[in-house]
Amino acid sequence: MTAVRMATSDINGVTPNKDEAETLMINKMAPTLYSMDASSPANAVRMFADIIGLDLELKHIDLTVAEQKLPEFLKINPIGSIPALKDGDFIVSDSHVIMKYLLSKYAADQVESLYPSDVQTRALVDQAMYFNTGVYFIKLKGVTLPSLFGDCTETTEKSKKDINDCYKVLEVFLENRKYIAADHLTLADIALLSTTSSMQPIHKLDSENGHIQNISKCRCVKDLGGDLLCEDLAVKDRWRSYFNELLNKQHKEVQPPDLPPDQGLVPPVTPAEVQTARRRSRNRKVVGADGVPIEPWKAMGPRGVGTLSNLFPRTLYRADPKPMEAEYYYSSLQRQMQTVLITQPACYINKMAPILYSMDASPPANAVRMFADIIGLDLELKQLDITVAEHKSPEYLKINPIGSIPTLKDGDFVLSESHVIMKYLLSKYAPDQVESLYPSDLQTRALVDQAMYFNTGVYFIRLKAVSIPSLFGDFTETPEKSKKDINDCYKVLEVFLENRKYIAADHLTLADIALLATTSSMQPIHQLDSEKFPRTAEWLSRLEQESFFKKIMVPGVELLDKILHSIWERNKQKKL
């Protein structure tokens, strides 16, 4: 990878002198990061770039004069958030998405370290990053924005409590490991480090108890000789050399034994075939591609299936030497029996179904349910009642310390956040559908991620800003401010759909499923104006015809509508 020198300019590309202009000419191939020195998401990207050795061209945005809301910047990032990345003609926003994109493109050799491919570890990294976007950073903005643009004079007690709740979640993340999601540094640590350090001027972390240390007490480090380094540049250089060494270690090559390959006439059953068999078995008609009815296997039970699997190979192997036809027949039969043994009848598979802690009116939970219906995965649903705060009960907080809905329990593995759950289930239970629902193309996947992080950190927040004060406050209708905020989100969807019929690709992806759940649930709160937002209206209308929408979202939205209007009417009566 060729490093590119860093240059800075403002949003309009103005450079103060000839020398910097020449530097920018050198830098014309460098990725451009629209940034601000005090922005924790932007600083996460900058720390990440420093770790992988990638220089960026920085363009500074001044929030105090609302440069992020200027038409010039909104053309680059319609969300109006910082940071945004411009890499050639490709533009993407959200710090977590930017880091994932840059990692895949510019430091592919470090992907396994910073964003491990292991399904569960990657899910934990994703879970932490979505928590950072949808909860942790929101608490930080809950103090900084009223301070910058309002009359906030100090951190309120309510904000301190909310931030402490986030620190508690970090404690749980770090309960069995020294890093957030693995036994080494990952993207999750970089993202949460930036937010946590930026949180200290707002509400300092109490380091007397717990796994998180006060960052201000960790400034000094030791050099290779054991001497203490406390000067900023020296500390930075030491960390850089440490991470360069750590992330560029070469693993010992293990030479495989020189043995001839053992290839049968019929290859072994693949994981994708097993998942196909499982999906087909859910209707209790067939157990796989062989078309054998499920009824005989159900009658035999697991013991009978095991007996037959032992009987058939013994009988066939007695024909010695076997003619080619018999060899092929045996291999085919063995393949069928493997599928039967792995999938088992649907009545036995259902005992192992992943558990989803859900609520019928919850858009994120309904997104997971629609997704599961699409890939043909049965889920065991456990309903939670938020009106009596079941999601905040000690029993539930042991499962999900964030106290959010939904949560997935798959065997001993527990995971929260709807987007993360969908990605995890897709990788584990429907690998043959990954390319369609979460494309591997670098830019397309970044666009899917961008839409899902927008859903978590902006769009769904606007929905909660009305639904929560309605359920637990005195709202009697949707305030005008909220209507404007929701319209701003609809504008973003219009941009997403500008050159395509779906959110991030020319076909349905996880981004559509996630945003469909939020958009349809938004209608009782603030109806989409089809004249102002025609592309979004057409997209919504098309997806409303899908069977998964009618099965799950229609009753979910009807319930939400009923709940909200009932509460609004009750609150009106209280004010009379």
Q: Which positions are catalytic? A: 362
Q: CA quadruple 257, 263, 267, 269: dihedral positive or negative? A: negative
Phi, psi of 174, deg, nearest 5? -95, 10
3-state secondary structure 153-185: CCCCHHHHHHHHHHHHHHHHHCCCCCCCCCCCC
Rounded CA separation 543/361 (Å):
19
CB-based burial of residue 247 (10 Å sphere; 0-12 exposed, 13-18 middle, 19+ buried)? Answer: middle
Rounded CA separation 292/337 (Å):
11
Query: Tokens 């705060």 appear where?
Result: 389
Q: Are residues 518 and 363 in contact, defined by beta-carbon separation less than 8 angstroms?
A: yes
Structure tokens belonging to residue 531: 């004249």
Torsion of CA 257, 258, 264, 266, to 10 degrees: 70
Neighbours of 26 (CB within 10 A): 12
The set of residues, in sequence order, having a beta carbon less than 8 Å from that of 84 and lying 6+ positions away, is 33, 34, 73, 76, 77, 91, 92, 93
The set of residues, in sequence order, having a beta carbon less than 8 Å from that of 322 and lying 6+ positions away, is 316, 330
Phi, psi of 314, deg, nearest 5? -60, -45
Q: What is the DSSP string of 430-476?
A: -GGGHHHHS--SHHHHHHHHHHHHHIIIIIHHHHHHHHHHHHHS---
Measured at the alpha carbon of residue 216, what is the angle toward residues 210 and 219, in degrees to the nearest 5?
A: 110
